Structure 1
Amino acid sequence: MNFRVFILAISVISVGLVELIVGGILPTIADDLSVSIGQAGQLITVFALVYALSGPILYTLTANMERKKLLLLTLGIFVLGNVITYISPSFLFVMIARVLTAMSTALIIVLSLTIAAKIVQPQHRAKAIGLIYMGISSSLVLGVPIGIIVSDAFGWRMLFLFIGLMALLSMVLIAFTLERIEVEQVQSLKSQLKALRNKKMLTAHLTMLFMLAGHYTIYAYFTPFLESELGLNTQWISICYFIFGIAAVGGGAFGGSLADRFGSKVSIILVVASFAVILFALPFSTVSFPLFIVGMVIWAALSWSLAPPLQNYIVETDSESAGIHQSFNNSALQIGISLGSLVGGIVNGATHSMQTTAHVGSLLVIISLAFGVWSLRSTVRKAVQN
């Protein structure tokens, strides 16, 4: 594998940590900034919303810029956002910093995906994309426990300074190892937005959206699930989070290898169908803790196995508009996280049953499977060029 892909993965890890890492330290942030926990929670909501909306827009507006230069510039803005967070005297400044880091994170991730796909041979493209998604998944699933540990030891502000330093290191490595990558074809903003009219691609994005929605229907409430179904204490819950995180990180690589071996289309169906089954069966595995651990590892690995074959499918289907579609796909991922968290909260609040919540999550994944089949069976319709 091209070593530059690993460098891009490091940059993705550093920027990805920012999104959910505040989840475990909300009380600390709220207390330091003299706001309620509810207000502090808006730091997560605003980040996800800005990320989802700004990714495609920024990608289209920067279509004329050389890719390496743009990546370095965006990483610089991300570092600035973390420095602002570190020195922020009030909640308002932290919120402004969250907007900056959300916008830069959205662009950095889509740039890393498109660059990784370009600097490797076609037969290794899915695996390269998988490595990038290993960085994304590892930052999302390990961010909360890492944030708690670092914050307890050094304070929550130092956490963001550390992330900024990681991004700065990534800038240095990219500056010295990555060659110039020119834009192959420039489309107008209007033309790139028309890409969503492509039903084959739109249904591919909906496949990602409902897959992640099904996942977060239960994962967003993983702690109460472990408490109610298995009666675990805080120590064992932390252990489960780390095991889940490690398995999820491996899932990105697994999805890429699966696509390289069996093809993207077959892999998409296998992953989504298997994920629907494991989510439905998960509550029944709690009769035995070892059995649950096995089920949890499979659940975790599959949760991030879809992204590499789906992203590779996008490149294979419409290479000319692949960049904008990769950005749309990451936005769909963010919307899926938000939707799943919302649905899980509603179902759990109405039924007080984690088993029902998991089954509703499985139903959302079945919807994802339906959109996946629809996409694969649709004819190719490329975006109109201007």
Structure 2
Amino acid sequence: MKKSIYIMALGAFGIITTEFGVIGILPKLVKQFHISIDTAGWLLSAFALTVALAGPFTNMLTAKMNRKTIMCLVLGIFVISNLLSAVAPNFTVLMIARILPAFLHPVFWAVSMTAASKQAGPKDAPKAIAIVMAGLSVATVLGVPLTTYVADLFSWRASFVVSALINLLAFGALAFFVPSMPVNEADASPKSQVKILGRLHIWVKLLTATIILAGMFATYGYLAEYLDKVSHMSGVQISMMLLVFGGTGIIGNWLTGIALSKNILVTSRLFLLALVVMHALAYQFGGLFIPMVIILSVWGLVHTGGFLVANLLVIDGIHGTALDFVNSLLPSFFNAGITVGTLLGGFVIAHYGIHQVIWMTIPLLLLSFGLSFIKENAKHKIIEKATEEIAEPEPVQVAVCE
């Protein structure tokens, strides 16, 4: 069981490295294909937008497929995508190669989360989900500096080859060491699961998570360009700073997990305020090398917990088959946030310059902070109403049976 879950975590590392690894090489792609930075940003935005739009449909279309088979299929397509990206002769081909695997990206996420939970059993399900999520977290903090370093050492094409090798390794491990996972017909039916969408507070949660991701990526999606143009760092220095960002992020993800286990709402609000402060400091001292190194270290410590914060904000209080359904929706809303964030960030850069992109992030983070209070007040009323509606018929049913 543990081996299978860690292999799925490796698969998560591979697909997230593919998605976000392009962030560190955007400046090189701008020079290679003679395009603007906001146009290059579509390599991230289009990927995320495809995930957001395709997620609910691809999950339904593949609901009855063997879970192992579909995960292998996803990883195989990611290998092909990265290899096509590595040999892309122009930006159009590169864009098509990037979009190709995005259609099945949410399938792997939903399937791996649910499969890990079921394999571990109810008692150890949270621990199993955390392991799979660790693959995502590590990819967000190490995948970008890894591909950036490889691109700087060899070429941007080599960075895609590295991503392909990671996905190939996960594919092989999954194919040879993970047992078959046939689908239970009852689990494949979405009828009972979609009922949760009738609860308003779920939509408030999903909206809050989307805005959190938008705020995070409005600036983070162009971090390499920010360090290049504002901080005047070289390619090697940018790679090292992204590595520092990622290294402190691993520690931050662990600390965020501990804090969230104590109080999800308070930790989430503190996270948002801390991230606002870090962006304000980056704007103020972005042109100074030493202060920026310190800021990036703390920024990475805070930033990486964002996925965990957004995830737990949404699934807090959800159980049973509804949890599986919500897990299948998360990639769509997360990537919708990434799409919105990178598009807004690209707009600001194109019209006002890279330094001003910070002022797109801060309002989004403050908006999600405000929504957390609305959610708290509305949540209890809606739950109480839903509980009353569900609870009232039960005594009548029992009485009739008696």
TM range (shorter): 0.7 to 0.9
RMSD: 3.7
AA in 2 matched with 1:278: A
Aligned mates of 2:328, 2:370 — CA distance in 1 = 22
Q: Does 1:132 align with 2:120?
A: no
Match of 2:307? 304
Preserved CA contact (<8 Å) 2:141 2:304: no
**Fraction of identical pairs, as percent:** 28
Aligned mates of 2:253, 2:111 — CA distance in 1 = 18
Match of 1:112? 112
Q: Structure 1 residues 233, 293: closer, same or farther in 2, change over 3 A? A: same
Q: Structure 1 residues 172, 344: closer, same or farther in 2, change over 3 A? A: closer
- Structure 2: unaligned runs, 5 residues or longer: 388-402
Match of 1:64? 64
AA in 1 matched with 2:127: K
Q: Structure 1 residues 200, 138: closer, same or farther in 2, change over 3 A? A: same
Partner SS state of residue 145, structure 1:
helix
Preserved CA contact (<8 Å) 2:206 2:314: no
Match of 1:219? 220
Q: Structure 1 residues 354, 9: closer, same or farther in 2, change over 3 A? A: same
Query: C-alpha displacement at 1:114, in angstroms?
Result: 1.6
Query: C-alpha displacement at 1:256, in angstroms?
Result: 4.3
Query: C-alpha displacement at 1:293, in angstroms?
Result: 5.9
From the CA coordinates, give the structure whose radius of gyration is larger: 2
Q: Structure 1 residues 49, 280: closer, same or farther in 2, change over 3 A? A: closer
Work out the number of aligned pairs and report it: 374
Match of 1:96? 96
Match of 1:199? 200
Query: C-alpha displacement at 1:273, in angstroms?
Result: 0.8
Partner SS state of residue 299, structure 2:
helix
Query: What do residues 39-81 of structure 1 show as CA deviations (whole Å, max 9, x unaligned)?
Result: 5443222211111111221111111112112211222222222
Match of 2:369? 366
Match of 1:329? 330
Match of 2:399? none
Q: Which sits farther off after the overlay, 43-52 or 89-98?
A: 89-98
Aligned mates of 1:26, 1:295 — CA distance in 2 = 23
Q: Structure 1 residues 372, 113: closer, same or farther in 2, change over 3 A? A: farther
Match of 2:400? none
Aligned mates of 1:56, 1:190 — CA distance in 2 = 14
1:346-361 to structure 2, matched below 5 A, reads 356=359, 359-361=362-364
Partner SS state of residue 74, structure 1:
helix
Partner SS state of residue 317, structure 1:
coil
Preserved CA contact (<8 Å) 2:248 2:297: no
Preserved CA contact (<8 Å) 2:209 2:311: no
Q: Structure 1 residues 228, 62: closer, same or farther in 2, change over 3 A? A: closer
Aligned mates of 2:378, 2:180 — CA distance in 1 = 34
Match of 2:339? 338
Preserved CA contact (<8 Å) 2:311 2:330: no
Aligned mates of 1:163, 1:228 — CA distance in 2 = 27
1:206-285 to structure 2, matched below 5 A, reads 206-220=207-221, 222=223, 233-234=233-234, 237-258=238-259, 261-262=261-262, 266-267=263-264, 269-282=265-278, 283=280
Q: Structure 1 residues 82, 327: closer, same or farther in 2, change over 3 A? A: same
Aligned mates of 2:154, 2:86 — CA distance in 1 = 12
Query: TM-score, normalised to structure 1's length?
Result: 0.80
Preserved CA contact (<8 Å) 2:26 2:224: no
AA in 2 matched with 1:317: I
Query: C-alpha displacement at 1:86, in angstroms?
Result: 3.5
- Structure 1: unaligned runs, 5 residues or longer: none
Preserved CA contact (<8 Å) 2:38 2:347: no
Query: TM-score, normalised to structure 2's length?
Result: 0.77
Aligned mates of 1:347, 1:86 — CA distance in 2 = 30
Q: Structure 1 residues 88, 12: closer, same or farther in 2, change over 3 A? A: same
